[in-house]
């Protein structure tokens, strides 16, 4: 068994070596997961806000469902999206299977419940504080949604980051719908799975270290953009 | 029930309450058979803790709907459109997670004030309320007194027909409370109808044109401010004044 | 804040735009982990792409999954190693025609000290029977792959009911070859694997080949064009071109040339007349 210092040295070497293929894999990972988070935000944030302020029949049931879907197994999502996009599936005509778009779709399915559930929780708290004042301003119940989304934006950023963490780290869904095709749909996690199955454990761990580093960079970038606890509470 | 119509106002009728019932849980029931509030000088709502004053304020503003009976403002049920002509400052001011200027701008925007007008009005209001230096500061980092001033400035931004105030000076130091009182008095003189719940009898006595006294969810007494503080009719009101005036006098000596 | 938001929006726009890659002509090859993990496909495909201009996208899964994916029309060419299943695939109309492509052999690997004492046994059914009786662990793919099917065939010939032993000395991982090797090494168990996967596996940890050479360990690979009559989107022309090239002189020679540490791992036999 290679020791961890070897693995550490190997991952540093991989990054500094500037291997073009590695960079392509890193870029694809970021691209797929960031776009999946973007799509999840577009769907999940308004959905979470509606669940936070809406007063409709079955609201509690939807909340329970969305909360439960946070724990969707990636493999199941991968399988469902595969069946949808397969040539014999309902969306086969779009020829999306084994493309990055398929991976984005699968991760969006995976991440949207996380974003929606966390947003719902956060915005419900904010709504409890704001709702009387906003109604006093003469804002309608649904009209409060943009205000809540904007004033909760820093907290919501954390919800999106949680979604990104889930997306960038999952392998079960993307390996089924992406196929782990070299130069086309191979991302960090599927590379790690591949190298593990080849018995190249040191390389697999080095890639894992890079994946963690990527997650740190993205989180740090968001923090630098102005997400501090103080601002989250006040601005 | 005491004679509520003994002090007929010469001012036009603004709010009328008829057969109002509001149940807050099993324990508390607010009941107002008949009550009119006219335009003009400030109306102050007094009463011991748990008398239902804040609930009543919310019912008048349309934030709560009565279980029975009606509240009519200028003859209509207070809905969002009516509220857009009014304003309310809550006991704990609810400031948006935005800058001081943005808080005022927001209140104007949701009432449909155009962007250019908004900017001009925000600047003027900040100046009037001594908040110009804090314009770009996060509203929720202001001191307690500044927060209350901002909440009032934001409420008055649209020159509301009615301004509801729930304990506007509670938990403020005397100098901040004085500043708030001045803003309220000026707003009243500028033509905004003030309807205020307060524990501060000094503030009530100085500002009240009329007083409504609540006890255990019912209106016990209505009177001109001057009459009420000189000789309250009901034993409940007299007891309330006796105990609170002692505190008030003690606090101001 | 507004400035950074704008930058974010533009950044996302660039990412979305980059999704629409110019789609050159390509085929999807549904294949097995052994051919990819050994590096064989990496040696063959760039040569084919260079002369044909057709990109080959490899999805490497177990034979069972590859067959199902191909049956769904999610691939143009199928390259697997389970001859009976392949013939059935063609007979049912999912594939056009099956060609022999190459072969290698399965081997039994186990701990270096061979606790079951099977090393000198030439007859593979005797060998695995001894493992079964020794109480040592045998780790199976259990994933309906070509290797798994071959292994089940051997147990059945040996007259041993592994289904009954599942969970005791017989452990099914339900995973690919590499994962199963990792697990088996962790358990100190015996395993059946194809020679190519073993030769290129990077984490042997003292394990070695303890059984090989029985003719029943032959591992035959076949290649099939997915039937365009069943799945009209199959790129039949490009797919057949790839099959023709692999089974032709160049492809067969390249297969024979592929070696790891001086050891040839696959033996081309597309042109051998079989009975």
Tokens of B104: 């005022």
Q: What's the mean per-residue pLDDT of chain A?
A: 90
Chain B residue with CA closest to A233: the answer is B97
pLDDT tens-digit readout, B94-127: 999 999 999 999 999 999 999 999 999 999 999 9
Region for C117 from its dihedrals, namely left if φ exceeds 0, alpha if ψ lies in -120 to 50, beta otherwise: left
Cα of A192 vs its chain's centroid, Å: 19
| pLDDT surpassing 80 at residue A227 | no
Structure confidence at residue A11 (pLDDT): 74
Residue B110 to residue A130, Cβ atoms within 8 A:
no
C273: which residues sit within 8 A by CB, 6+ positions away? none
The distance of B107 to chain A (nearest Cα, Å) reads 7
Give the H or E element holding residue A94. none
CA distance A133 to B87: 9
B57: which residues sit within 8 A by CB, 6+ positions away? B45, B88, B164, B166, B195, B197
Residues A11, A17, A18: CA angle, nearest 5 degrees: 105
Chain A residue with CA closest to B104: the answer is A137
- Considering only CB atoms, which chain B residues are within 8 Å of A228? none
DSSP string, chain B: ---TTTT--SSPEEEEEEEEEEEETTTEEEEEEEEEEESSS-EEEE--TTSSHHHHHHHHHTSS--SEEEEEETTB---HHHHTTEEEE-SS----SSBHHHHHHHHHHTTT--HHHHHHHHHHHHHHTT-GGGTTSBGGGS-HHHHHHHHHHHHHTT--SEEEEESTTTT--HHHHHHHHHHHHHHHHTTPEEEEE-S-HHHHHHH-SEEEEEETTEEEEEEEHHHHHH--SSHHHHHHHHHHHHHHHHHH-
Structure confidence at residue C114 (pLDDT): 97
Residue A234 to residue B96, Cβ atoms within 8 A:
no
- Considering only CB atoms, which chain A residues are within 8 Å of C1? 226
Residue B97 to residue A151, Cβ atoms within 8 A:
yes
Which sign does the torsion angle of CA C139, C142, C147, C150 carry?
Answer: positive
Q: Which band of pLDDT confidence, cut at 50, 70 and 90, is reported for residue B253?
A: very low
Tokens of A16: 């500094």
- Considering only CB atoms, which chain C residues are within 8 Å of A160? none
Structure confidence at residue A19 (pLDDT): 77
Closest CA to B188 of B221, B215, B165: B165
CB count in 10 Å sphere of residue C216: 13
Residue C19 to residue A86, Cβ atoms within 8 A:
no
CA distance C23 to B12: 77
Q: Which band of pLDDT confidence, cut at 50, 70 and 90, is reported for residue B2?
A: very low
The distance of C217 to chain A (nearest Cα, Å) reads 22
Write the burial class of residue C230 (CB in 10 Å: 0-12 exposed, 13-18 middle, 19+ buried): middle
CB count in 10 Å sphere of residue A83: 16
| pLDDT, average across residues A172-179 | 95
CB count in 10 Å sphere of residue A68: 11
Q: Pick out chain C residues at pLDDT < 50.
A: 1, 22, 274-275
A24: which residues sit within 8 A by CB, 6+ positions away? A183
Structure confidence at residue B204 (pLDDT): 93
Write the burial class of residue C122 (CB in 10 Å: 0-12 exposed, 13-18 middle, 19+ buried): exposed
What angle do the packed helices A20-53 and A201-224 form, to 10 degrees?
Answer: 50
Chain C residue with CA closest to A37: the answer is C12
Of B63, B82, B97, the CB nearest to A132: B63
Residue B84 to residue A137, Cβ atoms within 8 A:
yes
Q: Which of A163-177, A201-215, A219-233 has the highest average model confidence (pLDDT)?
A: A163-177
Residue C72 to residue A87, Cβ atoms within 8 A:
yes
B33: which residues sit within 8 A by CB, 6+ positions away? B1, B18, B19, B20
pLDDT tens-digit readout, A123-150: 999 999 999 999 999 999 999 999 999 9
Tokens of B157: 């931004």
CA distance A174 to A183: 14
Give the H or E element holding residue C245. helix C236-247
CA distance C125 to C131: 10
The distance of A121 to chain C (nearest Cα, Å) reads 24
For chain B, say whether A229 makes contact (Cβ under 8 Å). no
Closest CA to A107 of A212, A47, A30, A46: A30
Structure confidence at residue A202 (pLDDT): 82
- Considering only CB atoms, which chain A residues are within 8 Å of C176? 197
- CB C62, CB C146: distance < 8 Å: yes
- Considering only CB atoms, which chain B residues are within 8 Å of A233? 97, 140
pLDDT tens-digit readout, B136-181: 999 999 999 899 999 999 999 989 999 999 999 988 888 889 999 9
The distance of B86 to chain A (nearest Cα, Å) reads 8
Regarding chains C and A, contact by 3 or more CB pairs under 8 A is answered as yes
The distance of A38 to chain B (nearest Cα, Å) reads 24
Q: Which band of pLDDT confidence, cut at 50, 70 and 90, is reported for residue B5?
A: very low
- Considering only CB atoms, which chain A residues are within 8 Å of B98? 151, 235
Chain C residue with CA closest to A90: the answer is C72
DSSP string, A159-215: HHHHHHHHHHH--HHHHHHHTT-TTTT--HHHHHHHHHHTT-HHHHHHHHHHHHHHH
For chain A, say whether C230 makes contact (Cβ under 8 Å). no
| pLDDT, average across residues B32-57 | 94
Of A100, A199, A226, the CB nearest to C1: A226
Q: 3-state class of C229 per DSSP?
A: coil
| pLDDT surpassing 90 at residue A229 | no
Interstrand relation of C138-140 and C190-194 (parallel, antiparallel or unpaired): parallel
Could you say which DSSP state residue C248 is in?
A: S
Structure confidence at residue B4 (pLDDT): 46
> What's the residue count for chain A?
235
Structure confidence at residue A226 (pLDDT): 60
- Considering only CB atoms, which chain C residues are within 8 Å of A184? 57
Chain B residue with CA closest to A144: the answer is B110
For chain A, say whether C14 makes contact (Cβ under 8 Å). no
A22: which residues sit within 8 A by CB, 6+ positions away? A14, A15, A210
Structure confidence at residue B249 (pLDDT): 55
B92: which residues sit within 8 A by CB, 6+ positions away? none
Closest CA to B56 of B94, B10, B88, B12: B88
CA distance A112 to A43: 7
CB count in 10 Å sphere of residue A16: 8
- Considering only CB atoms, which chain A residues are within 8 Å of C201? 198-199
Cα of B244 vs its chain's centroid, Å: 20
A208: which residues sit within 8 A by CB, 6+ positions away? A192
For chain B, say whether A138 makes contact (Cβ under 8 Å). yes
Which stretch of A71-85, A198-212, B82-96, C154-168 has the lowest confidence by average pLDDT?
Answer: A198-212
Tokens of C129: 């029977």
Which residue out of A2, A35, A86, A181 would a mutagenesis test of the C interface target, given it has the greatest number of C Cβ atoms within 10 Å?
Answer: A181
The distance of A150 to chain B (nearest Cα, Å) reads 9
For chain C, say whether A113 makes contact (Cβ under 8 Å). no
Of C16, C33, C73, the CB nearest to A88: C73
CA distance C202 to C199: 8
* Helices (H), ranges, A70-152: 74-85, 100-136, 144-151
| pLDDT surpassing 80 at residue A31 | yes
pTM of the complete model beyond 0.95: no
Residue C202 to residue A196, Cβ atoms within 8 A:
no
In the block, residue with structure tokens 């994916």: C69
| pLDDT, average across residues A12-36 | 87
Closest CA to C194 of C132, C239, C129, C260: C260
| pLDDT surpassing 60 at residue B196 | yes
- Considering only CB atoms, which chain B residues are within 8 Å of A136? 61, 63, 83, 86-88
Of A1, A92, A100, the CB nearest to C19: A100
| pLDDT surpassing 80 at residue B8 | no
Rg (CA), chain B: 18
């Amino acid at each position: 068994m290679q020791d961890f210092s070897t693995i550490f040295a190997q991952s540093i070497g991989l990054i500094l070596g500037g291997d073009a293929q590695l960079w392509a894999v890193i870029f694809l990972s970021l691209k797929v997961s960031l776009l999946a988070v973007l799509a999840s935000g577009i769907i999940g944030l308004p959905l979470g806000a509606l669940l936070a302020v809406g007063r409709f029949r079955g609201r509690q049931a939807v909340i329970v469902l969305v909360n439960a879907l946070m724990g969707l197994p990636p493999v199941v999502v991968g399988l469902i999206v595969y069946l949808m996009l397969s040539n014999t599936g309902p969306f086969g005509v779009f020829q999306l299977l084994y493309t990055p778009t398929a991976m984005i779709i699968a991760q969006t399915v995976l991440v949207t419940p996380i974003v929606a559930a966390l947003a719902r929780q956060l915005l419900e708290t904010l709504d409890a504080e704001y709702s009387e004042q906003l109604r006093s301003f003469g804002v309608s119940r649904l009209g409060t949604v943009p205000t809540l989304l904007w004033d909760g934006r820093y907290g919501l950023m954390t919800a999106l980051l949680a979604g990104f963490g889930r997306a960038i780290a999952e392998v079960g869904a993307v390996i089924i719908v992406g196929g782990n095709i070299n130069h086309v749909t191979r991302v960090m996690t599927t590379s790690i799975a591949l190298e593990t199955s080849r018995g190249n454990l040191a390389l697999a761990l080095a890639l894992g270290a890079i994946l963690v580093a990527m997650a740190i960079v993205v989180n740090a970038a968001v923090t630098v953009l102005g997400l501090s606890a103080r601002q989250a509470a006040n601005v | 029930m005491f004679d509520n119509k003994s002090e007929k106002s010469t001012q036009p009728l603004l709010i009328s309450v008829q057969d109002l019932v509001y149940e807050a849980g099993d324990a508390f029931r607010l009941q107002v058979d008949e009550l009119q509030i006219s335009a003009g000088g400030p109306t102050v709502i007094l009463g011991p803790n748990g008398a239902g004053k804040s609930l009543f304020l919310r019912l008048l503003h349309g934030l709560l709907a009565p279980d029975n009976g009606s509240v009519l403002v200028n003859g209509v049920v207070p809905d969002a459109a009516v509220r857009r002509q009014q304003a309310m400052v809550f006991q704990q001011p609810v400031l948006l997670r935005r800058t001081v200027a943005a808080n005022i701008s927001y209140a104007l925007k949701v009432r449909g004030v155009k962007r250019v007008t908004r900017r001009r009005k925000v600047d003027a209001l900040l100046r009037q309320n001594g908040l110009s230096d804090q314009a770009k500061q996060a509203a929720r980092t202001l001191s307690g007194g500044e927060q209350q001033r901002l909440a009032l400035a934001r409420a008055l931004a649209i020159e509301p027909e009615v301004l509801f105030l729930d304990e506007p000076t509670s938990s403020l130091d005397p100098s901040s409370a004085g500043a708030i009182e001045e803003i309220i008095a000026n707003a009243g003189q500028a033509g905004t109808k003030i309807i205020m719940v307060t524990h501060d009898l000094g503030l009530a006595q100085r500002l009240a044109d009329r007083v409504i006294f609540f006890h255990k969810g019912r209106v016990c007494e209505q009177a001109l401010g001057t009459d009420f503080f000189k000789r309250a009719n009901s034993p409940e009101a007299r007891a309330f004044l006796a105990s609170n005036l002692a505190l008030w006098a003690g606090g101001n000596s | 804040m507004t400035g950074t938001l704008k930058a974010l929006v533009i950044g996302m726009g660039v990412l979305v735009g980059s999704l629409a890659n110019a789609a050159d002509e390509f085929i999807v090859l549904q294949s097995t982990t052994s051919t990819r993990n050994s590096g064989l496909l990496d040696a063959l495909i760039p040569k084919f792409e260079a002369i044909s201009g057709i990109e080959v996208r490899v999805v490497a899964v177990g034979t069972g999954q590859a067959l199902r994916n191909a049956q769904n029309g999610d691939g143009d060419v199928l390259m697997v190693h389970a001859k009976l299943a392949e013939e059935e695939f063609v007979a049912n109309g999912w594939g056009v025609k099956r060609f022999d492509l190459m072969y290698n052999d399965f081997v039994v690997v186990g701990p270096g000290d061979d606790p079951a004492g099977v090393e000198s046994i030439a007859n593979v059914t005797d060998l695995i029977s001894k493992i079964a009786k020794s109480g040592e662990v045998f780790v199976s793919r259990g994933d309906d792959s070509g290797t798994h099917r071959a292994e089940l065939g051997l147990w059945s010939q040996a007259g041993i009911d592994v289904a009954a032993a599942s969970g005791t000395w017989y452990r099914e991982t339900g995973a690919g070859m590499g994962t199963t090797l990792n697990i088996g090494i962790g358990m100190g168990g015996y395993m059946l694997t194809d020679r190519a996967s073993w030769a290129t596996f990077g984490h042997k940890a003292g394990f070695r080949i303890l059984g090989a050479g029985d003719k029943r360990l032959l591992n035959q690979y076949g290649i099939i064009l997915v039937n365009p009559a069943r799945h009209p989107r199959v790129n039949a022309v490009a797919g057949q071109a790839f099959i023709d090239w692999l089974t032709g002189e160049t492809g067969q020679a390249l297969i024979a040339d592929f070696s790891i540490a001086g050891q040839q791992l696959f033996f081309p036999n597309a042109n051998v007349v079989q009975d």
